[in-house]
Each structure stands twice: as structure tokens, then as C-alpha cells.
């Protein structure tokens, strides 16, 4: 089962964090360079972008198949809003199989934000 990297509303203290109930927190993490965050209003979207030098911060969680299926439904994977896909993290998670929710719709006109999304 892949681990799950969350960078937005699913993080601790954020508005959808209750959906992480029953999953196991493994620690804060950062992607390798090559990912960028965008502000989509009430939530962020992350995409792969080779030109990015910095990466994105978030948290790593362990999840079972049922939890991943539940989160996929919440994140609109079947509707093409996000895609759950492998993500490259830095140490100590660099050698692990980790998935994340990459934003799957156009980002035209959306502002790029820094390396970390926060709710406020
Ligand atoms: N929820 C997922 C993807 C973006 C969002 O707000 C997350 O926290 O990683």
C-alpha cells in the first residue's frame, strides 16, 4: 500500500483533516523539486512542474485501501478533479512509495503560491 502525502486541506489543523481519522501520521515532509502549488480559492492544487526548484511541504500518512478509496471519492478522482499519483519526496521518505493528489484541471489564471499552503 502506498503512503499518502497531503499538502492542503487534509493536513493537521485544516478543515478536511477529520477525513484522515484512522490513518497513521508519519511526519512532515517535502517533495523533491519539481512540484508547484496553486491557490484555487478554498483549497490548493499541486502539479508536477520540471522548472520548479523548491518543492512543496506537507505530511506523510499511512493509509489502507479503504481509506484511500474514501479519500479518492472526496477529492473527486472519478470526476477528474484530482488524480492520485506517485510523488517524489525528500528524506526520510525518499525511498518510499508515496502517492499524492495532483490537480488534474487547467490552472489558467490561478495564482502560484509558495512552497506551503495554509488555510488562513
Ligand atoms: N486536499 C488534498 C489535495 C488538496 C486538498 O486540499 C490534500 O490536502 O493533499
Residue closest to 98 by CA, chosen among 120, 68, 75: 68
Answer yes or no: is 21 within a domain.
yes
Closest CA to 39 of 92, 100, 115: 115
What's the chain's average pLDDT?
97
In a domain, 61, yes or no: yes
**Which range marks the domain in which residue 50 is found?**
3-114
Residues 22-42 pLDDT 10s: 999 999 999 999 999 999 999
Residue 119 lies in a domain: no
Ligand 1, residue 14: give the atom nearest the CA: 8
Residue whose CA is at the smallest distance from ligand 1 atom 9:
6
**120 located within any domain:** no
Give the mean pLDDT of 104-109: 96
Q: Phi and psi dihedrals of 73, rounded to 5?
A: -65, -45
Please confirm whether the linkage preceding 34 is cis (ω < 30° from 0). Answer: no
In a domain, 68, yes or no: yes
Alpha carbon of 113 to ligand 1 centroid (Å): 14
Contact (Cβ atoms closer than 8 angstroms) between residue 55 and residue 48: no
Residue 81's CATH number: 3.10.490.10
The model's pTM: 0.97
Give yes or no for residue 94 having a pLDDT over 90. yes
Q: Which atom of ligand 1 is nearest to the CA of 82?
A: 3
In the chain, the number of structural domains is 1
Amino acid at each position: 500500500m502506498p503512503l499518502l502525502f497531503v499538502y492542503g486541506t487534509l493536513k493537521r489543523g485544516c478543515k478536511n483533516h477529520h477525513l484522515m481519522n484512522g490513518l497513521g501520521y508519519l511526519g512532515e515532509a517535502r517533495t523533491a523539486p519539481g512540484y508547484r502549488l496553486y491557490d484555487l480559492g478554498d483549497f490548493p492544487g499541486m502539479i508536477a512542474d520540471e522548472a520548479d526548484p523548491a518543492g512543496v511541504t506537507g505530511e506523510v500518512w499511512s493509509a489502507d485501501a479503504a481509506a484511500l478509496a474514501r479519500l479518492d471519492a472526496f477529492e473527486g478522482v472519478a470526476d477528474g478533479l484530482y488524480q492520485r499519483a506517485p510523488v517524489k519526496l525528500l528524506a526520510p521518505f525518499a525511498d518510499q512509495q508515496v502517492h499524492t493528489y495532483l490537480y488534474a484541471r487547467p490552472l489558467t489564471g490561478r495564482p502560484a503560491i509558495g512552497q506551503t499552503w495554509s488555510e488562513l
